[in-house]
Amino acid sequence: LTRVAGFEWGSGFYINPVPPEQAAAFLRDVDLDLD
């Protein structure tokens, strides 16, 4: 996680520093317990 910086405060847009491939790999490995 990162902190909100000047760009985010001023523009209202948030920067996601995680590459999409890394995020997808993490989400594929999540084990959902759907009981």
Task: Give the pLDDT band of residue 1 (cuts 50, 70, 90).
Answer: low
Per-residue pLDDT band at 3 (split at 50, 70, 90): confident
Sign of CA dihedral 17, 22, 28, 32: negative
Report field, pTM of the whole predicted structure over 0.85: no
Instruction: Tell me the per-residue pLDDT of 6-31, one tens digit each, with 9 for 90 and over.
Output: 999 999 999 888 999 999 999 999 99
Tokens 């997808």 locate to 24
